[in-house]
Amino acid sequence: MKIGILTSGGDAPGMNACLRAVVRTTIHYGHEAYGIYDGYKGLVENKIKQLDRNDVGQILNRGGTILGSSRLPSFKEKAVRQIAIDHLKTWGIEALVVIGGDGTYRGAMALSEMGLKVIAIPGTIDNDIASTEYTIGFFTALDTAIDAIDKLRDTSFSHQRCTVVEVMGRDCGDLSIYSGIACGAEIVITKETGFDPENVLMQVKKAEEMHKRHLIVVVAENITNVFELAENIGKHSHYTARATVLGYIQRGGQPSSYDRILASKMGVHAAELLIKGESGYAIYTKSMEIGHCPIAEALNAQDEVTDLYQYLNKLN
Ligand code: ATP
């Protein structure tokens, strides 16, 4: 059996560890593994190469994805996907593992509906795939955000500032609320909390009344302009307010221990499913166990809001 593998959408630490696991498991059972470069775009452009076990050596601890990633909006068109399927047929590749976020899952679903055997693995720092408790890359990105906010805290305290930090997570506030709790933020603003500028000012006032020397406000991306928010806080309180956007630094770096293990387990599970003749599944983790459900079910799953929000007020 020939199994192809690609990484797609935003890169995430641990994608390489997962690639390694898929390739080595495939070869372990006597099959062939093929790397597809630059996501669905590379699939359409026929950028495919057979990988042996040594090709995925020395990558377990590397951030990013050695296969490369991309975004290809035209992959939503059936004719474009047909080109991809035709390339796979020419190579004799009958099954595909894709690692990425929900957009990548939609691509996988569409390929599966066209008859291709596909397994999808959650690889994104946003943790925005509802069917899995955690995605590959989330905890590494969280550690990066925590490290940065800890550093901002030092200078925030020295200068009696209100430090506003924008954290990644386009459609899911998990990186913000997890880093907010881990860094002792006074205020966390996400899609889940909603954003009311008056309420934020009230909370800042409350911090003033409590004689807090400084405070930290964590804001998820795409909620508001953090520079304007900081300016507004500065105008209406005694704090000097400064905003910092953490940005793409959160995407890089060596995967954490958890992400390496999660990625390895998910990769093995995905390859074994395909080898057993099963397909159309999305891999998930729940309570440290690895499982799988139909990709359609993963796409329709309802996001459960983490209970961490309840802790914020009590800890302040
Ligand atoms: P992240 O959220 O971490 O950036 P993602 O996988 O959600 O990861 P997207 O850019 O949304 O990133 O999706 C990756 C690719 O999946 C898209 O560039 C596109 O090629 C493909 N894709 C997205 N939606 C669909 C769809 N409805 N049908 C087919 N392909 C799709």
Instruction: Tell me the per-residue pLDDT of 245-273, one tens digit each, with 9 for 90 and over.
Output: 999 999 999 999 999 999 999 999 999 99
Test site for ligand 1: of 106, 124, 251, most ligand atoms within 8 A of the Cβ = 106
Residue 66 has pLDDT above 90, yes or no: yes
- How confident is the prediction for the chain on average, in pLDDT? 97
Tell me the whole-structure pTM to 2 decimals.
0.97
Task: Give the amino acid at 158.
Answer: S
Strand locations in the chain, DSSP E?
2-7, 32-36, 48-51, 95-100, 117-122, 161-167, 187-189, 215-220, 240-245, 281-286, 289-294
Cβ–Cβ under 8 Å, residues 190 and 223: yes
pLDDT tens digits along 144-163: 999 999 999 999 999 999 99
Test site for ligand 1: of 6, 7, 8, 303, most ligand atoms within 8 A of the Cβ = 8
- Based on the residue annotation, tell me whether 126 is a catalytic residue of this protein: yes
Residues 121, 70, 286: CA angle, nearest 5 degrees: 20
3-state secondary structure of 127: coil
- Report whether residue 8 contacts ligand 1, using a CB cutoff of 6 Å: yes
